[in-house]
Amino acid sequence: MQRYQLYIDGAFCDGSGQFPSIDPSTAQPWAMMPEAKEDDVNRAVAAAKRAFDTPDWAGMTATARGKLLMRLADLLAENAQKLAQIETRDTGKIIRETSAQIAYVADYYRYYAGLADKIEGAHLPIDKPDMEVWLRREPIGVVAAVVPWNSQLFLSAVKLGPALAAGCTVVLKASEEGPAPLLEFARIFDQAGFPKGVLNVITGFGATCGAPLTSHPDVAHVAFTGGPDTARHIVRGSAENLASVSLELGGKSPFIVFEDADLDSAANAQVAGIFAATGQSCVAGSRLVVQNSIKEAFLERLKAKAEAIVIGQPDNMATEVGPLCSARQRNHATDLIARSCDAGARVITGGTAPSGNGFYFKPTIIDCSDAPDAPCLTEEFFGPVLSVVGFDTEEDAVRIANDTAFGLASGVFTRDLTRAHRMIRRIQAGIVWVNTYRAVSPIAPFGGHGLSGHGREGGLQAALDYTTVKTVWLRVSDDPIPDPFVMR
């Protein structure tokens, strides 16, 4: 089997242990991964701290940092197909998605390459005539970036891009489930010419790798994508180092379809919103909120599309839905469906795993209109399962959409422009897509609130979040400062 190594201080090295990585399409191990434990974490953070303080990186101009990021983007584009194949093998994401996504990831690095020398301070029109006062934006320090297995090259780019543009150094922890793409990414980063220690890539388990990293005293900021339960541990751990924390967590996003919508467009977007990436996406449109006047006709349309989806090997370009990443994910989906049916929900199509090897699960639609307390309406599946609720009025649609502890994404399909604007104002989510879904760009911020976390990734604001503000006071008068103890 192929064996991977950690990337620490500009060199590839073994971890304190190793563990097998499972191919989700066969349920068999295909590679051995290095397991980082506390000693490895300490070495990685020490390397990042050293790089942050040395002139090779600390003294580099912002423009030069941007050129390195541009070089990294070019190398990513050149190696996109190889990275796509590795991600597909290690996580089960289908090759048609990994190929397209990784090719676009290069644009995120290009965006932040261009932004590197545009992170500006400010001059303050201070109220004291003998003073000049200005603000400097400086890098916040060592960043712990923790990403999950799904879309990991994208989810690392929205952290590494702004962090490196701002002048930070990073310890990137890949998930223990499917870490190969980021360990392979380390090879490409190594070729780009960054000073050693600027990026360190490790993988391991939560208690022995993630916790020592996010609570390390030399970590200044933690950027995390994952689930709320792990996020709570990270927030508690940050009490040890008082690091700032940005959290991009899960979602239970409403996909609202009004009777005046373009139903063909809405159906295609809903299929993409829940069955693309095998439903393993934080912004999956997992709750269909559809007007009752069109509900049955719309569900028939969705049912036909779901049953026509091609389930197959993830490395086949004809495959439309591949396996889930792990047996745990498949078991979770099976359990959640069973509990929802016990609560009165009705499976319209799917609901089971197909026969054969691998962690596959059929595209599933569950009607919960008569089961408002079904757990599938509140708990995240992270799989190809769509829960459906009908509504009559716009007020009903808003109430149902906001009846969640999450607040990441949402979709609204209507031809009524004024209604669209009302829904935009009233939906409690960090993203509102109108007559589209799952559109992203490096220019647009991405994030949510509630159990979906806080902070934003993408756009200018993300780069500013990796900086700290220094206020500089300069006295311009040649007159001596008066003795403060002499009365005048």
Half-sphere exposure of 130 (CA within 13 A, CB side): 6
- For the chain, how long is the longest CA-to-CA vector? 92
Here the tokens at position 487 are: 């009365």
Active site residues: 248
| H/E element, 244 | strand 244-248
Tell me how far apart the alpha carbons of residues 317 and 333 are, in angstroms, rounded to a whole number.
Answer: 26
Tell me how far apart the alpha carbons of residues 105 and 158 are, in angstroms, rounded to a whole number.
Answer: 9
Beta bridge partners of 347: 366
Here the tokens at position 112 are: 């932040």
Give CA torsion, residues 150, 156, 159, 164, to 10 deg: 180
Phi, psi of 197, deg, nearest 5: 90, -15
Phi, psi of 407, deg, nearest 5: -165, 50
Helix (H, G, I), strand (E, B) or coil at 78: helix
Give CA torsion, residues 320, 322, 325, 327, to 10 deg: 140
Sort 217 into a burial class: Cβ within 10 Å, 0-12 / 13-18 / 19+: exposed
